[in-house]
Structures are given as structure tokens and as C-alpha cells.
A and B are shown apart, each in its own frame.
Chain A
Amino acid sequence: MRTALLLPLLALAAVVDAAPLRDPAQPPSAVQRAAQAQNRVRPASVGATLDAEAESHLRASFDAADTAHRGTLSRAEAQAGGFGWIANHFDAIDTRHAGRVSFDDVRRYLKARDANTATR
């Protein structure tokens, strides 16, 4: 019914007997050292730096959806590539009615909407 029945059961017994988890637990020390080295040169972001980090998340999702590496997405490509938000806002983003939007188009749309919200 399942692959390697005995091994997982033995491992499970070990898990149950282990000391209780502390949550959040301390990451392994090698990871902590790597993080400390990074944090010396890359402190916690605020303001424009935070905005840029937030935007890079969106850029990564855009690039992941752009499997053909064309730099633009159609509504259908955005939906199929997991960026349904672009598909849902496609007409508002695609101000040039090109049928395809670039990441810069997405940025422009977000900026314009942000400014609009701020003046409300």
C-alpha cells in the first residue's frame, strides 16, 4: 500500500519520542551563521528598499509565468502561469491595448492605483 512501510514507522516512533518542539525553533547553527554574515551587509529593509524587495517578489512571479521569456504576458499566459492577479486586472494594466503586458506595465498600474488611493 505504501512505499517502504517499516522505515517510516520506525522514524515516526523516533519523532513521537523526541523532546517537544519549540516553536519557533532555532534554525540549524550553520544557517544562523550564514544569516548573520548576510545581515551585516543587508540590514532589515524599510521605505524604498522594502518596496523594492516587495516588488522583487512580484517580478519573480512574473518571470516564472513568462515561460517563453518574451518579457510580456497575455491574459491567458498570466492565468496559466499562476499570476491570476494580472489576468484579473488585465484591461486596467494593458493601457495600450496591446494584448500583452510587461512587468513595467504592472508597476505603472500599481503606482497609479497607489497614488489614487493616497489622494482619496
Chain B
Amino acid sequence: MVTIQSVLRSARSAAPTALLALMAACGGGSSSDNNIGGSGSGGGSQFVDANQYSAAPGASLSTPNEATGVTHGSLALGGSAIAYTATAGHLSALDASQAPEASIFYVAYTADGAAAATRPVTFFFNGGPGSASVWLHLGSFAPKRLATGIPATTRAVPFPYVDNAESLIDTSDLVFVDAVGTGLSEAIAPHNNQGFWGVDKDAAVLRDFIQRWLVVNGRTASPLFVFGESYGTTRVPVLARLLETAGQRVHGVVELSSIVDYNSNCSVSGGTPTVNCAGFLPSYAAVGDWWHVASGSSGDLDADITAVRSYADTTYEPDAAAWLANGRLPPASHVSALVAFTGLGAGTWQQQFDMDFDTFRHHLIANTTLGVYDGRMSALVGTPLDADDDPSNTFVAPGFQSGIRSLLPLLGYTNPTTYVMSSNAIATWDFSHAGRALPDVVPDLSAALALDPQMKILFLGGEHDLITPFHQTELDVARLGAGAPVAMHFHPGGHMTYLDDDARPLMKAELAAFYASALGAQ
């Protein structure tokens, strides 16, 4: 009770500012019916936002607004219709002295008529750093989604925008948030985008955004969940710790395609790895299975993964460590075992025994590039799908770019600026965190759990993701100890695991169980 009362007190003190800003901003909106769900109740408002937003490092917005486009929709889920409101626009993150820091673009899907005290709200973040939340927004658990048909690479752009039978709107309100300098989010003068491009500064401004959103929307008592993908899984543990520290409880943290320790992941350590790649071996085996090149495959992916995971831990990890230390290859029988597990030729293993994902995906199949995000997707070398050296990105990115361009006006929000799916924040990002040059956020999760032992964590991912491999996540998360309130589920699929039509329903069921457990623990 202490928690809720003190939060409500701070809500009251902040509310007048927020209301004034909203009232001023809403003057430009005009009422209209724009039913994005096809059978909604109608009655919304359009907002034509004249601001120019920029993702440049030095960019700084001087005229932030907080007007929104509001539309209504309805989604049939599990035999009943869920009426919801979609709200698209900006809200300013405010610092401790209530001074504006950044104008954050978000799209919120909120179920109509739900009780604020018990209805969960989930904030979604993609990664990069420098990626807008367009992937989670358009591909995962919103009331509608883009149907990509992956791992096939045949569907034409624009991808169909379909009702989402796996939407989480039956479980939680959903807020998709663009980090500063991505999408349409920008720092507010005197700050600039670069000022929020660092592990700690980024999480702090997003904490401020979440707290402001909860206050403005009267939701400070709602169970709170944060959901990150990719770099978002680095961002969200820091964010959860900062929210808990500030006194805002976080009921659940969802980590999809995780990198919780940059120091342990051999794919982010550059050309020739200096980090042990043993955490990648089960993913290489899953990709070898998919392409039917792994002679040791039993045909049962789960069984194969169990076997190769054990081999990675007991044999390949020390072998790779020895090779990294002194260039010494293990006995030929060990190389043969790796060839059988993965299908990758012995010569390639002998040249690059600590196997990085780039060497693997360019050498598994002759004249073929396999996807970084999804090793089941491929392109013949030199073909258009190979243009960016990642067919799994090249195939889906144009559909998402065109999708967000079409969607925002349908959500009642119009703006002349190009929505920035990915900015170059990575080039100047401050990766330092807690005295390390590259972030390790396992201690952040541990600190958040110390403050709130009832917080729960769910890790999800794809077994064919070649950049944040599931077994590396298992190894990193094991550091939290056996008693940690952690659940993990991995499925055939890539980095954007939800794009897979078989994985998405499984993930939805796991998410539903996770939310029930996180809420039941209260």
C-alpha cells in the first residue's frame, strides 16, 4: 500500500503540467471515425504533426508536442471481441525537476473499459542500439500484424496487414516505444539525441518516459511489464532496475533474442572472435539440421539440440578456449564430431576453430549466404536478396518500412518526416556500463530482483537465430543461480521469432502463462 499511495501522490503533483500540455496540444486535432480494426466503435481524432523529427546525433527538437491520433478497433480473440483504442503520438520524458528531456514517439493499444488497477501494461522496445520499435510493433503481438510468410522469401511487399490471432491485447495493454533518435523520437532542446545514446542514459530517459506515460494515463497502479528484443534485452534489465529503484514496481521482464552480456557473445566481438563461441554451437546445429547437411542429425531437432548443447559445454568450449589461447586444434575426432553436428566442412573448422557466425553462414552451403537473423533463410551469392549480406533482413525490412509508413496515417497520426527504422546511433553509442567497456546487465537483473523478489523474467528466442544464440542466453542467465525466477522457451525460428507462424502461437501461450504467474505472485 505504501508503494501505491506514494506513487499516486507523485502522480497528482505531476498531473497539472501534463494536462495543460495535452489540452494545448489537442487543439490541432479534429474528430473523425477511423476504424483500424474493421468493426470498432468509431470516433477518434486525427493529428497532423508538422514537426520535423531527426535521428542525427546533434539533433534537438525545440517545439515538442503531445497531441495524438486516436482510433478505435476490435479484435476477435478466443471467441470474444476485444474493443481497443490505439493512440499514436509523442509524450515528453521529464527529468527529476520536470524539465523535458526527449519527445518520445509511441503507439499504445489499450483495451476499452478495463480496470486500471488490475489491467497490465507492457512497454516494448526493439534494440540496435538505433532500431525503432517497428519490428515488435508490426510483427509481434499488437492487435494486427504484418504477415511475412518467412522463412520463405517469396511474399511481395506490401505484406498483408492481418488481424493477429496471437495478440497479447487479451492479456495486457501494449505500448510500443521508439528510443531517442529512432522512429520519430528526438531529444528536446537543450538536449540532443547523442546525449541519450548510451546504455545508462538511454535507460534513464526511457524510465522517465514510462513513469510519465503511467501518470498521464492514470496507470501508476497497473501491473507493469517491460519487453525487449535484441539490444532491447540489454536496455530492459537496466530499465527494470531503474524503475524498481525509483519505486515503480516491475511485475515482469520479457527478453526476446537476448544479449544480456556483450562480453560473452562472440558475434558482437568483431571479425575474428576473441570470445569463446561455444554458446553458438547448438544454433549452428539447428541450422545444419534445417538444411539437411548435418549427417549426425537424428531428425528430431529437440533431441539434437540436447546432444549438441551438452557437447558444446563439455568438449567444444574447452577445445575452443585452447585454440584461442595457443592456436592448437583438438584431436581429429573432435573436428569430425563438429562436422557431424553442423554439416560445416572440416577445413572450415580447422581454419577458424572458434567458429564465428559469419564464417559459418557463408561456408555451410556453397555459393549461398544464410541469414544472420534467421539461418533458415538464404540467398545465392550476388542475387538481390544477398545485397545486404543478410537475406533474412533484406527480405523483411522493406515490408516493415512500407508497413509503418502506411499504418501511422491509419492510426490518425500524420507527419512529413521519414520514420527512421534504424539510425546510426551505434557509431557513437556509449556502451560503457558499471565500469565495463561493454555492458553486462546480469547484475542489473540481480539488483532488480533484490529490490523486488516477486519480479519474474521470461527469456524467449529462436533456435535458428545466428546473432543472439539461445544457448549463450542459457549460459549467461545461469549466472543468476538455480533459484532465480526465470523461465526460458526457445522455438524453431529466427531473431524476430514471432515472425514464424508456428513459433508465434507457442510464444503467445508461454507469454500468457508468464503473465499469469507474474500476476499471481502478487
Contacts and interface: CB of A to CB of B under 8 A. Distances in A.
Nearest to B60: A3
A112 interface: no
Contacts of A45: 440, 442-443, 479
A12 B443 contact: no
Contacts of B2: 88-89, 91
Contacts of A11: 54-57, 59
A24 B468 contact: yes
Interface in B143-187: none
Contact of B62 (A1, A14, A44, A113): A1
A32 B269 contact: yes
Interface in A23-43: 23-29, 31-32, 34-36, 38-39, 42
Contacts of A42: 436
Given A12-B420, A21-B426, A44-B440, A113 B453 contact: yes
Nearest to B433: A57
Contact of B437 (A25, A31, A47): A31
Contacts of A28: 427
Nearest to A85: B247
B418 A16 contact: yes
Interface string A1-27: 111110111011011101111111111
A81 B169 CA distance: 35
Contact of A36 (B274, B418, B420): B274
A56 B434 CA distance: 8
Interface residues of A, number: 60
A117 B131 CA distance: 39
Contacts of B422: 15, 18, 20-21, 23
A85 B420 contact: no
A7 B56 contact: yes
B274 A26 contact: no
Interface stretch (B69-77, B260-268, B289-297, B301-309): B260-268
A84 B268 contact: no
A71 interface: no
B231 A24 contact: yes
Contact of A32 (B52, B427, B438): B438
A24 B61 CA distance: 27
Contacts of B268: 24-27, 32
B3 interface: yes
A98 B460 CA distance: 46
Contacts of B426: 21, 25, 27
B19 to A, nearest CB: 23
Nearest to A111: B450
Contact of B450 (A35, A38, A58): A58
B352 interface: no
Interface stretch (B28-36, B387-395, B502-510): B387-395
B435 to A, nearest CB: 8
A55 B248 CA distance: 19
Contacts of A24: 127-128, 230-231, 234, 259, 262, 265, 267-268, 467-468
Contacts of B51: 1-2
Interface in B385-429: 388, 390, 393-394, 397, 417-418, 420-424, 426-427, 429
A117 B443 contact: no
Contact of B446 (A18, A54, A80, A84): A54
Main secondary structure of the interface of B (DSSP, over half): loop
Contacts, number: 204
A1 B248 contact: no
A14 B59 CA distance: 14
Interface string B476-490: 100111000000000
A94 to B, nearest CB: 13
B369 interface: no
Interface stretch (B110-118, B238-246, B374-382, B511-519): B238-246
Contacts of B246: 82-85
B61 A2 contact: yes
B247 A87 contact: yes
A3 B58 CA distance: 10
A30 B231 CA distance: 19
A54 B393 CA distance: 36
Contact of B394 (A20, A79, A117): A20
B451 A85 contact: yes
B446 A23 contact: no
A18 B422 CA distance: 9
Interface string A54-89: 111110010000000000000000011011110111
Contact of A29 (B7, B96, B128, B270): B270
Contacts of A83: 245-247
B86 interface: no
A84 B473 CA distance: 31
A8 B52 contact: yes
B311 interface: no
Contacts of A110: 450-451
B269 to A, nearest CB: 6
Interface string B223-263: 00000001100100000010011111000000000010111
11 contacts: A1-B63, A11-B55, A16-B420, A18-B424, A19-B388, A25-B426, A27-B429, A58-B451, A83-B247, A84-B246, A85-B245
Top 8 A-B pairs, shortest CB-CB distance: A84-B247, A21-B422, A8-B54, A11-B56, A54-B446, A53-B443, A34-B437, A54-B447
Interface of B: 2-3, 6-7, 10, 50-52, 54-63, 96, 126-131, 189, 230-231, 234, 241, 244-248, 259, 261-265, 267-270, 274-275, 372, 388, 390, 393-394, 397, 417-418, 420-424, 426-427, 429, 431, 434, 436-438, 440, 442-444, 446-447, 450-451, 453, 467-468, 476, 479-481, 495
